[in-house]
A and B are shown apart, each in its own frame.
Chain A
Amino acid sequence: MGLKEKILTKSIYVFHVSSGSCNNCDIELLDCLTPRHDIERFGIVLVGSIKHADAMLCTGSTNRMCVPRIKTLYEQMPKPGFVIAWGACGSSRGVFKDSYNTGTPLDEIVPVDMYIPGCPPKPEAVIDGFVKLIQKINQVKNK
């Protein structure tokens, strides 16, 4: 585990993309920043601009209008950058699987690095997801 992985895993700036979410996942994301869970102690900060971000956190069922926007946002993210699919909708479109409006799941639009399941995921599940993302970053280096 070199210096690069150490630094990248210690400071993950997250940009939140909401692509037609029902707002539950978005509220759970804010829960992670509250005193009880406080993900800032791992260096995870929510930023306002995709150009500052290391990870793109996608909630919602990726409806048709959002697909080109998600692609643009992914291209604008400075690399190395990671994509996290958040919740049942982000991972697999959830109950909107057969809807006329949600043609493509997120992982067919952009490469997804980590799935966090749940509807909505609990903050504990979110922290677990970030731990797995950090492990994944370290494993990529070791190979």
Chain B
Amino acid sequence: MFPGFLFSGVMGLFVGWIDRKVTARLQWRVGPPWYQNYADVLKLLLYKETLIPQGVSRVVFLGMPVLAMSAASLVSTIILVINGAPQSGFIGGLIVVAYLLLIPSIALMMGAFSSANPLASLGASREMKLMLSYELPFILSLVVPIIKCGYVIKLGDIITYQASAPHVIASASGVLSFIAMLLCIQAKLGFIPFDMPEAETEIMAGAYIEYSGKALGIFKLTKAIMLFIIPVFMITLYFGGIRFEFDGFVRNIFQYVLIIVLMVVIKNTNPRVRIDQAMRFFWRPVTIIAVLGAGLAYLGY
């Protein structure tokens, strides 16, 4: 239970509160108290009615949140366990993580398409386009840590390699791929400027529109787990993983806060873009940055 679902859920909701509080302070508001996200999720999970629209497949509609959450908790378990014991991983761990990070988006898409609502299918089609656009630079920026650490795709080897060598971020290619990755995870988490799948003011929560009660609570928990684990994943790739001695751990916390605050500031200083603008943005500048990073890494910079 420790590195798995419960721990990452609790941590994720806490990080979600940091996000809401920083957002509120940037807008000169007070912001919600620390227990706000716990109250929201518990309310949905325990006390609210779950409504199922007429004529939808119950298995797909209710199964998809569970699938999304199990993928998210699995990826958080893999990353945390490998950070604790680098030798315990398996070959190709990075590829498994990259695939598992996709599953919550796909599950959300399937659930939205099954919910028989035009706005939900609009949101799901936007989610699909967004996924197609950010996956290319995401994979390309994953290539840089692989090359830098001597062509390994085992997560544990990436950590152990960086323990003795300089971190991936301390090179030109590392910085470039870190920037590309930061923009990709902004879209992966569905933060503004890339929140078109759930645009509140435009298509009324989009893909989530028909979800209520427990199903919605499980989706919120999934988002929280993803929000917690993706910065840890980036620390693993670029900053040499979590160190379990005192000053290393303090440095980890600084890196974590840096990534979160960067994400929240990007979120609060940008308006929502259109889906075609997002695709153009990811396929041109971000992909070029990621390719440059990969090329520099291949040449040894």
Contact = CB atoms under 8 A, between A and B. Distances in A.
Interface string A41-78: 10100011101101000000000000000000000101
Given A7-B43, A7-B47, A48 B204 contact: yes
B209 A40 contact: no
Contacts of B47: 4, 7-8, 80
A10 interface: yes
B205 interface: yes
B46 interface: yes
A38 B26 CA distance: 13
Interface stretch (B48-56, B138-146, B170-178, B259-267): B48-56
Contacts of B201: 48
B126 to A, nearest CB: 15
B42 A7 contact: yes
A48 B32 contact: no
B31 A11 contact: no
B36 A52 contact: no
Interface stretch (B71-79, B81-89, B210-218): B210-218
Interface string A1-44: 00010111011010000000000000000000001001011010
A79 interface: yes
A13 B47 CA distance: 14
B51 A11 contact: no
Contact of A49 (B24, B49, B204): B204
Contacts of B29: 35, 38, 40-41
Chain B, interface size category, equals: 20 to 34
B49 A78 contact: yes
B150 interface: no
Contacts of B208: 49, 52
B276 interface: no
B209 A48 contact: yes
Interface in B92-135: none
B51 A41 contact: no
B30 A41 contact: yes
B36 A43 contact: yes
Contacts of B43: 7-8, 11, 54
Contact of B27 (A10, A35, A51): A35
A49 B205 contact: yes
Contacts of A4: 46-47
Interface in B264-296: none
Given A49-B209, A51-B212, A41 B33 contact: yes
Contact of B209 (A6, A11, A35, A51): A51
Given A7-B43, A43-B39, A78-B48, A48 B200 contact: yes
Nearest to A80: B47
Contact of A43 (B28, B32, B49, B210): B32
A11 B36 contact: yes
Nearest to B210: A51
B51 to A, nearest CB: 6
A43 B42 CA distance: 13
A76 B35 CA distance: 28
Contacts of A43: 32-33, 36, 39-40
A40 B211 contact: no
Contacts of A40: 20, 24, 29-32
Nearest to B33: A41
Given A11-B43, A48-B205, A51-B209, A79 B49 contact: yes
10 contacts: A10-B35, A11-B39, A38-B30, A41-B32, A43-B32, A47-B200, A48-B200, A48-B201, A49-B205, A51-B212
Interface of B: 20, 24, 27-33, 35-36, 39-40, 42-43, 46-51, 200-201, 204-205, 208-213, 216
Return the 10 tightest CB-CB contacts between A and B, nearest first: A48-B204, A51-B212, A78-B49, A10-B39, A11-B39, A38-B29, A35-B28, A48-B205, A41-B30, A49-B209
